[in-house]
Amino acid sequence: METVWMNLRDVDEAKGGVVLHETLALPRVAEENRMVERIDPVTADLIAHKADRLYHVDGAVETVIWYMCSRCLETFSAPLHLPFAEVFTRDAARVEDEIIYAPDDDVLLDPFIEQTINLAIEYRPLCREDCKGLCPVCGKNRNLEPCDCNPRPVDPRWAALQDLLSPDESE
In one-letter notation, the amino acid at residue 4 is V
d(CA 2, CA 44): 11
pLDDT (tens digit per residue) in 43-61: 999 999 999 889 999 999 9
E strand or H helix at 29, and its extent? Answer: helix 27-32
* pLDDT number for residue 1: 61
Domain locations along the chain = 5-120, 132-171
In which band, very low, low, confident or very high, does the pLDDT at 91 lie, cut at 50, 70 and 90?
confident
Residues comprising the chain, all counted: 171
> What average pLDDT score do residues 108-113 get?
96
Strands, DSSP E only, in 52-91? 54-68, 75-89
Sign (positive/negative) of CA torsion 57, 60, 66, 71?
positive
* Residue-wise DSSP of 28-49: HHHHH-TTEEEEPPEEEEEEEE
In which band, very low, low, confident or very high, does the pLDDT at 96 lie, cut at 50, 70 and 90?
confident
